[in-house]
Amino acid sequence: MSEFERRRRQAETHLKLQMMKEMSEVMRRTGLPPMAVMREAARAVGHIYRETAEAHCEPSCCPCGWCPQEAMDLERLGEALREASRSSRSTHLSVMQVLGRA
Ligand SMILES: [Zn+2]
């Protein structure tokens, strides 16, 4: 496994756990159904994209080298959402058990 892939998996695991924890808490506090909360989570990612992209369009942008290309970036985000949503049945059911606790 490449160093990039190792770090990518580490980020995926961390974000998945944290988002699951936060979304379960939001459902518990608000009583909103899972799809309403997941839609807000998707909107939050969209806002984070917008703010991060804007920060990278300024003259004194960060040294990471990312140059936002909105159409391609949003297509890739949509692909990631669709791809992860079609994961194996066992993964899907374990997620539903946690979400079902709201
Ligand atoms: Zn950067």
Distance (angstroms) between ligand 1 centre and the Cα of 52 equals 8
Cα separation, 80 vs 98, whole angstroms: 21
95 Cβ contact list (under 8 Å, min separation 6): 20
Distance 61 CA to ligand 1 centre (A): 7
Q: How far apart are CA 86 and CA 56, in angstroms?
A: 32
Q: Which residues lie at CB < 5 A from ion ligand 1?
A: 62, 64, 66
| pLDDT per residue as tens digits for the range 8-65 | 999 999 999 999 999 999 999 999 999 999 999 999 999 999 999 998 887 766 888 8
> Is the CB of residue 38 less than 8 Å from the CB of residue 23?
yes
Domain that holds residue 87: 3-99
Q: pTM of the full predicted structure?
A: 0.76
The two structure tokens encoding residue 47: 């806002």
Please tell me the total count of domains within the chain.
Answer: 1
